Amino acid sequence: MDYWTPSVSVDDEFEKLVLRINPPMVTVDNESDKKATLIKVDSANKRGSLLEVVQVLTDLNLIVKRAYISSDGEWFMDVFHVTDQHGNKLSEGNVAESIQQSLGPRGRSFRSLRRSVGVQSALEHTTIELTGRDRPGLLSEVFAVLADLKCNVVAAEVWTHNSRMASVVYITDEANGSAIDDPERLAKIKQLLFYILKGDRDRRSANTAVSVGSTHTQRRLHQMMYADRDYDKDVMDSPSKSDRSKPLVTVEDCAAKSYTVVSLSCPDRPKLLFDTVCTLTDMQYVVYHATIIAEGPEAQQEYYIRHIDGYPINSEPERQRLIHCLEAAIRRRTSEGIRLELCGEDRVGLLSDVTRIFRENGLSVTRAEVTTRNNQAVNTFYVTDASGYPVKNETIEAIRKEIGITILRVKDEAYSTSPPQQSGKFSLGTLFRSRSERFLYNLGLIRSCS
């Protein structure tokens, strides 16, 4: 069984000592810029500092309009021009404290306990990580197995890209609502999920891992998809992908300063900076200087980097690999398909029922976010048809009538339909039960009733 165990090295203790002597200084300035709040961060330099700051800004749902980054030497200074999600200056006073906690000597423990995708305690759930080949109906099969094994999904996030799928799922015991820590039960969960993921078409190895504790969900998804090599160009993107969404990435030499210069241009969107910094960090590059401009529909990013050994990129294969990895990081979060939002009372088996309806109506889930707030399910799904093309309006309306017009809503400006004549009632009961039972019987999860 795969469990994650933290390790403490001499270097970690030295970093903590340096941070105690020179604690990070964070200032929030609402006067210098008429349209944005300036967040200035000065701290002793250590590997990963930039990602930690950007991660905090992302967790606070802040939009970075401009950024200037410099970390050449033993000190780094970052300046971020940020707004809230509505384009307004910040009024909350916890931004500086959150960044200071993240960068300070207690930063690791602070990050491990941070709320992630609706999960509020690291000790109340079990974390499951899954990677494998994407296919229509895969998510439905995963949730069906978990429901039959008496596991309640309290939160999850699912990404798909380049025919690969990665997900982080948080589950509790259906009976008592606590984390599942029985080794035999966890081994069975892993075995059955691995069987689902592997199928008979996965040319690469599927993977499952479980732990009791929390992780930064989107950070892990980037790491998992990078480890799964979703950036390989051996598989074409889905037909719904547009050329407009493809980022323009160049990698050039700066011989005078012995840097590699990475320039990036693509349509702007939330969390774009986080996605690119994650990739540079995972690929063992250090950002010495950077300029970020995202004040219009297009975002421009420029990084001066070196490998952690202090040398710039010196080969064309490495240059191309970096370009492909950055393209993949940007497109992982590009959501294809119609956005459906499900809001209603949470219950065990809800996701299994909903995704089964999607599957049996020919829908494929390209991305999903599952959260539970005060016993209410707030779930977002991006769906296409099984071939990756847009779903017909009549199919969406048929599914909404099955699940409930007032519960499953379409959140897509391009989608139009006539007003519903009546509201559906969310009562799935034994809906489509026969096919689901056959599926679970084939896995050996239930006995035949014949």
Phi and psi (nearest 5°) for 372?
A: -130, 120
For residue 318, what are the contacts with CB-CB under 8 A and spacing of at least 6? none
Asked if the 126-210+336-442 domain carries CATH number 3.40.50.2300, the reply is no
Cβ proximity of 239 and 388 under 8 Å: yes
209-246, pLDDT tens digit by residue?
887 766 789 999 999 999 999 998 754 444 444 455 67
pLDDT of residue 237: 47
Of residues 306, 381, 316, 304, the one with CA closest to residue 342: 381
Q: Is the pTM of this model over 0.85?
A: no
387-418, pLDDT tens digit by residue?
889 999 999 999 999 999 899 999 887 665 54
DSSP 342-381: EEEE--TTHHHHHHHHHHHTTEEEEEEEEEEETTEEEEEE
Residue range(s) occupied by CATH 3.30.70.260 in the chain? 126-210+336-442
Averaged pLDDT for residues 345-372: 94
299-357, pLDDT tens digit by residue?
999 999 999 999 999 999 999 999 999 999 999 988 789 999 999 998 889 999 999 99
pLDDT at 381 > cutoff 80: yes
Identify residue 16 by its one-letter amino acid code. K
